[in-house]
Chains A and B, each alone.
Chain A
């Protein structure tokens, strides 16, 4: 049973089509992320669901109701804007209470509900402050409280964390998720940050140029992307192009330089040309002199990049560079070392043709 239904939504800005026949079902209580680069139409889609933007065609359903023709103020939504959009002339309390004031909520109930919402975001002590007297993270919480105080049918979040710095963003991710689960709110979360989308969501939608490329669980999106585009956008990926060879279970991809990479995936047929990809953490590096995988691609270590909790090797492979996760149980490698790449690449379906 869907809670939000997006049916054949089209949006044209003059000659440019921002959304091309988008269909999407969001389940009740689900946390769904829409992930994509800027300009892919993800924010436009969210604004159309909210009613802040009119679609050029198609229909929107919220909680079983066709709301396509309803203006924003009649849809039961909570919306959090990227730059918070708090009202600067009103206190935190009044920012949160406005929706209830507009519904002519009785005074005592209004007070209780506002304070309850502020307690949920740990801001009840700052109720009398003005937005300008708050930090970015606190402003974000006010925006969140303002959206949830009305007990909306759906919560729509338009890149709500992108204005925050990294540490705060991670804290807010945890809180946001906890809040969403406590309230059981159906949530659509728009972001361009793939880690954010993968870590928070029940399901992720990857959009590209006004089209949904893939809809699936974070695990499916990351490990079984349907296209080169998704594989490249959701995480670091190195692509191999070649012809499928082999017999029985063990199949390999023969590359144009004569080397071969072991592959896995669905519907692999020997003789076909295909595109496969590997993630940095799927690769083992072997020093060439002790190589156990003859015929596998070879590269040169260019440098080791240290990130604190982890490190990456940058490996030169012909005319391209790829990242390989450093593993503590692997061999110690130095720049200039020649290495063999040991990995099983995943074949993209349908030749992996992204576009």
Chain B
């Protein structure tokens, strides 16, 4: 706090964050240590039984938590791979085309997530274009079951995460001078090995940022697993929602939420550590 004026200017933000984020979050954490009565009323009695129940039951641990992490991780890998290609193409496009390509990437974000996911259901449905194409070209005898399974959920999550990955990698690629690749070519590197030895390592901070962003978004997916999973693919956020509304067990729903939060925070921690060890090269780029 160097200047009192700064503190005053920050007050509105602190107030809003405090009232609508920090306090409810603390309440959720407290709630996760309480229990629910037979009719769903919260009982003011501190206990760790919710956590014990979650962590000892292989259904919650394996079928719910591990599946959530696994699907989010797989979707993240695909998102980063697809996003990197997109970001690279945009970074190497001419300045005039760049603006349009960035707009194109951002376009899906202007469409409501539910609408986007519903349209994906049409695309992947029994009579959707994908199945028509597969059958029409003879790759399949009859329409495949593309919906209501893990693949569908992964496709949905990738679709959501890719724009964010593209933007975070694009930013880093833009900041790497092309001259560094040219310099590699002057010492005998082909364009491919110049990319592999120079541009790619220097773009890793963007890959890291993009993958954390993608994982964070994917692991908290709600609309995608509900719609594309059709209730058959168990997912943390969906389970929390159902526990709170259908089972009317608010404390256990809070527990699921807190565990999900811890997983996300853990990922962020690993990210911070990774960035700090890769940070030397980023700092160098920004300095030059």
- What distance in Å separates the Cβ of B276 from its nearest Cβ neighbour in chain A? 15
Tell me which of A72, A81, A86, A150 has the highest count of chain B C-beta atoms within 10 A of its own C-beta. A72
**Pair B183/A79 contact, Cβ less than 8 Å:** yes
Q: Does A282 touch B at the CB level, under 8 Å? A: no
**Pair A81/B188 contact, Cβ less than 8 Å:** no
Q: CB within 8 A of A130: which of B183, B185, B190, B284?
A: B284
Q: CB within 8 A of A72: which of B186, B201, B287?
A: B186
- What distance in Å separates the Cβ of B41 from its nearest Cβ neighbour in chain A? 59
**Which residues from B are CB-within-8-Å of A224?**
none
Tell me which of B183, B284, B288 has the highest count of chain A C-beta atoms within 10 A of its own C-beta. B183
- What distance in Å separates the Cβ of B178 from its nearest Cβ neighbour in chain A? 10
- A331 CA to B206 CA, complexed, in Å: 69
Flag B38-54 by CB within 8 Å of A: 1 or 0 each. Answer: 00000000000000000
**Which residues from A are CB-within-8-Å of B284?**
88-89, 130-132
Q: Does B187 touch A at the CB level, under 8 Å? A: yes
Tell me which of A50, A99, A102 has the highest count of chain B C-beta atoms within 10 A of its own C-beta. A102
**Pair A102/B188 contact, Cβ less than 8 Å:** yes
Q: CB within 8 A of B182: which of A85, A86, A88, A131?
A: A85
Instruction: Find the B residue at minimum CB distance from A77.
Output: B186
**Pair A85/B179 contact, Cβ less than 8 Å:** yes
Q: Given A98-B197, A130-B284: A87 and B184 within 8 A (CB)?
A: yes
Instruction: Find the A residue at minimum CB distance from B179.
Output: A85
Q: CB within 8 A of B281: which of A78, A83, A89?
A: A89
**Pair A98/B202 contact, Cβ less than 8 Å:** no
List B171-219 residues whose CB lies under 8 Å from chain A.
177, 179-180, 182-190, 193, 197-198, 201-202
Q: CB within 8 A of A79: which of B186, B190, B288?
A: B186
**Which residues from B are CB-within-8-Å of A73?**
185-186, 188-190
Flag A24-51 by CB within 8 Å of B: 1 or 0 each. Answer: 0000000000000000000000000010
**Pair A72/B185 contact, Cβ less than 8 Å:** yes
- What distance in Å separates the Cβ of B96 from its nearest Cβ neighbour in chain A? 14
- A89 CA to B183 CA, complexed, in Å: 14
Q: Does B285 touch A at the CB level, under 8 Å? A: yes
Q: CB within 8 A of A88: which of B185, B186, B288?
A: B288
**Pair B180/A146 contact, Cβ less than 8 Å:** no
- What distance in Å separates the Cβ of A218 from its nearest Cβ neighbour in chain B? 28
Interface size on B, residues (CB 8 A): 24
* Interface SS majority for chain B: helix
- A147 CA to B184 CA, complexed, in Å: 11
**Which residues from A are CB-within-8-Å of B179?**
81, 83, 85
Q: Does B2 touch A at the CB level, under 8 Å? A: no
- What distance in Å separates the Cβ of B188 from its nearest Cβ neighbour in chain A? 5
Tell me which of B188, B193, B285 has the highest count of chain A C-beta atoms within 10 A of its own C-beta. B188
- A131 CA to B280 CA, complexed, in Å: 11
- What distance in Å separates the Cβ of B211 from its nearest Cβ neighbour in chain A? 19
Instruction: Find the B residue at minimum CB distance from A97.
Output: B187
Q: Please report the number of residue pairs spanning A and B whose Cβ atoms sit closer than 8 angstroms.
A: 71
Q: Given A130-B284, A132-B287: A89 and B187 within 8 A (CB)?
A: no
How many A residues touch the partner, as a band? 20 to 34
**Pair B280/A130 contact, Cβ less than 8 Å:** yes
**Pair B283/A132 contact, Cβ less than 8 Å:** yes
- A77 CA to B182 CA, complexed, in Å: 13
- What distance in Å separates the Cβ of A100 from its nearest Cβ neighbour in chain B? 8
**Pair B183/A88 contact, Cβ less than 8 Å:** no
- What distance in Å separates the Cβ of B51 from its nearest Cβ neighbour in chain A? 43
**Which residues from B are CB-within-8-Å of A107?**
none
Instruction: Find the A residue at minimum CB distance from B283.
Output: A132
Flag A146-178 by CB within 8 Å of B: 1 or 0 each. Answer: 110010000000000000000000000000000
Q: Does A184 touch B at the CB level, under 8 Å? A: no
- What distance in Å separates the Cβ of A141 from its nearest Cβ neighbour in chain B? 15
Q: Given A85-B182, A98-B197, A132-B288: A150 and B280 within 8 A (CB)?
A: no
**Which residues from B are CB-within-8-Å of A146?**
183, 187
Q: CB within 8 A of B202: which of A83, A89, A102?
A: A89
Q: Does A354 touch B at the CB level, under 8 Å? A: no
List B144-179 residues whose CB lies under 8 Å from chain A.
177, 179
**Which residues from B are CB-within-8-Å of A150?**
187-188
A78-B186, A85-B177 given. 17 additional CB < 8 A pairs?
A: A50-B186, A72-B185, A73-B189, A73-B190, A77-B186, A89-B201, A98-B189, A98-B197, A99-B188, A103-B188, A130-B280, A130-B284, A132-B280, A132-B288, A147-B187, A150-B187, A150-B188
Which 3 pairs of residues, A with B, have the shortest CB-CB distance? A99-B187, A88-B284, A89-B281
Residues of A within 8 A of B (CB): 50, 52, 71-73, 77-79, 81, 83, 85-89, 98-99, 102-103, 130-132, 146-147, 150
Give me 30 A-to-B residue pairs in the complex whose CB atoms sit less than 8 angstroms apart, sorted by A's number: A52-B182, A52-B186, A71-B190, A73-B186, A73-B188, A73-B190, A79-B186, A81-B182, A81-B183, A83-B179, A83-B288, A85-B182, A87-B180, A87-B183, A87-B184, A87-B198, A88-B202, A88-B281, A88-B284, A98-B184, A98-B197, A102-B188, A102-B189, A130-B284, A131-B284, A132-B284, A132-B287, A132-B288, A146-B187, A150-B188
